[in-house]
């Protein structure tokens, strides 16, 4: 991945190349504005979290119906990505799709990979609460984490932080969030991005525990296949699109 060196000091050590962690990527006001802008009528309730998709969910053939993202998902976040050179190598040179996940304490997501519908880079902005993202080495035979296996690495995502996953971290690992109320045993030897955290002192003060509150994540991606059918219906001259 090319960036304009802005992420040079943010690479998480030990994890396969590459994951980058940036604390305080957005400020408190930007966080509050985003939380207010998330529409309350777009949530889809899943068993262990709720989810919304912008501009829309992918079709069965992993195609996105081309449409702009809403302005509140573009500014300030995508503008900041540009200043880091993020997505400059991806086919559309910017993310075109955002999943918003909300987890209450005790909720999470099973170990999985994000897969081939997307260019292999995902940028995650966390809001409201910290929690640990667990990273597993992929079992190449089964394309899944061995049942009952424990994570090889843990990444603590603080509110307002950015986590970028690309390259073999995207293709050769799985990620998940455990269904616990408290992330425990957090310290320099157990948290891969410990040295990059914005506030490790509070964690030390609380005996290495993070008591979760409701956390929202915005995951930005570039969907490879985009259908221009919307533009065609609107009557653009033939031959101009696709
Ligand atoms: O909430 C997160 O940080 C991870 C979400 C995730 O893995 C996904 O939406 O694919
Ligand atoms: Fe994921």
Per-residue pLDDT, averaged over 115-122, amounts to: 96
Shortest CA distance to 17 belongs to which of 142, 120, 132, 124?
120
The C-alpha atoms of residue 20 and residue 17 are separated, in whole angstroms, by: 9
Looking at residue 217, its pLDDT comes to 98
SS3 assignment for 201-238: HHHHHCCCCEECCCEEEEEEECECEEECHHHHHCCCCC
E strands along 9-96, which residues?
19-22, 44-45, 50-54, 63-65
pLDDT band at 142 (very low <50, low <70, confident <90, very high): low
Please say if the pLDDT value at position 239 is more than 50.
Answer: no
Looking at residue 4, its pLDDT comes to 66
The C-alpha atoms of residue 109 and residue 101 are separated, in whole angstroms, by: 10
pLDDT band at 6 (very low <50, low <70, confident <90, very high): confident
Indicate the range of 85-89, 147-151, 218-222 predicted with least confidence: 147-151
Contacts of 219 (CB under 8 A, 6+ apart): 98, 99, 100, 101, 122, 123, 124
Say what the pTM is.
0.93
Per-residue pLDDT, averaged over 121-146, amounts to: 86
Per-residue pLDDT, averaged over 134-159, amounts to: 81
Shortest CA distance to 95 belongs to which of 110, 112, 80, 113?
80
Distance 219 CA to ligand 1 centre (A): 7
Looking at residue 152, its pLDDT comes to 96
Q: Radius of gyration (Cα) for the chain, nearest Å? A: 18
Contacts of 31 (CB under 8 A, 6+ apart): 127, 128, 159, 160
Please say if the pLDDT value at position 17 is more than 90.
Answer: yes
Q: Percentage of the chain surpassing pLDDT 70?
A: 89
Length of the chain: 242
Distance 240 CA to ligand 1 centre (A): 36
Looking at residue 230, its pLDDT comes to 59
pLDDT in tens, 22-81: 999 999 999 999 999 999 999 999 999 999 999 999 999 999 999 999 999 999 999 999
Alpha helices in 115-211 (DSSP H): 167-171, 200-205
Shortest CA distance to 212 belongs to which of 148, 131, 153, 149?
131
Residues with C-beta less than 6 Å from any ligand 1 atom: 99, 101, 109, 114, 124, 133, 175, 217, 219
Q: Which atom number of ligand 1 is nearest to the Cα of residue 163?
A: 3
| Alpha carbon of residue 141 to chain centroid | 26
- Classify domain 8-233 at the CATH topology level: Jelly Rolls (2.60.120)
Distance 118 CA to ligand 2 centre (A): 11
| Alpha carbon of residue 124 to chain centroid | 3
pLDDT in tens, 193-210: 999 999 999 999 999 999
Q: What 3-state class would DSSP assign to 183? A: strand
Shortest CA distance to 138 belongs to which of 153, 124, 127, 121?
153
pLDDT band at 173 (very low <50, low <70, confident <90, very high): very high
Looking at residue 242, its pLDDT comes to 38
Looking at residue 143, its pLDDT comes to 56
ipTM: 0.99
Looking at residue 71, its pLDDT comes to 97
Number of Cβ atoms within 10 Å of the Cβ of 70? 13
Distance 124 CA to ligand 2 centre (A): 10
Q: Which atom number of ligand 1 is nearest to the Cα of residue 157?
A: 3
């Amino acid at each position: 991945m090319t960036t304009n060196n802005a992420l040079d000091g943010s690479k998480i050590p030990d994890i396969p190349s590459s994951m980058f962690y940036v604390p305080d990527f957005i400020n408190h006001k930007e966080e509050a504005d985003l939380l207010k802008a998330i529409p309350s009528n777009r949530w889809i309730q899943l068993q262990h979290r709720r989810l919304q998709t912008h501009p829309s969910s992918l079709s069965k053939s992993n195609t996105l119906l081309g449409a702009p993202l809403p302005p509140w998902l573009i500014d300030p976040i995508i503008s900041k990505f540009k200043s880091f050179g993020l997505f400059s190598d991806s086919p559309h040179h910017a993310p075109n799709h955002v999943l918003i996940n909300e987890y209450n304490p005790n909720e999470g997501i099973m170990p999985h990979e994000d897969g081939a519908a997307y260019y292999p880079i995902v940028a995650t902005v966390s809001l409201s609460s910290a929690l640990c993202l667990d990273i597993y080495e992929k079992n190449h035979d089964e394309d899944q984490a061995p049942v009952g296996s424990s994570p090889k690495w843990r990444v603590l995502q603080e509110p307002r932080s950015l986590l970028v996953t690309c390259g073999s971290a995207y293709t050769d690992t799985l990620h998940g969030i455990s269904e616990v109320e408290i992330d425990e045993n957090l310290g320099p030897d157990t948290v891969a991005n410990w040295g990059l955290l914005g506030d490790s002192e509070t964690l030390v003060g609380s005996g290495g525990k993070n008591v979760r509150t409701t956390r929202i994540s915005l995951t930005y991606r570039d969907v490879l296949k985009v259908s221009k059918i919307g533009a065609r219906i609107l009557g653009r001259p033939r031959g101009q699109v696709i």
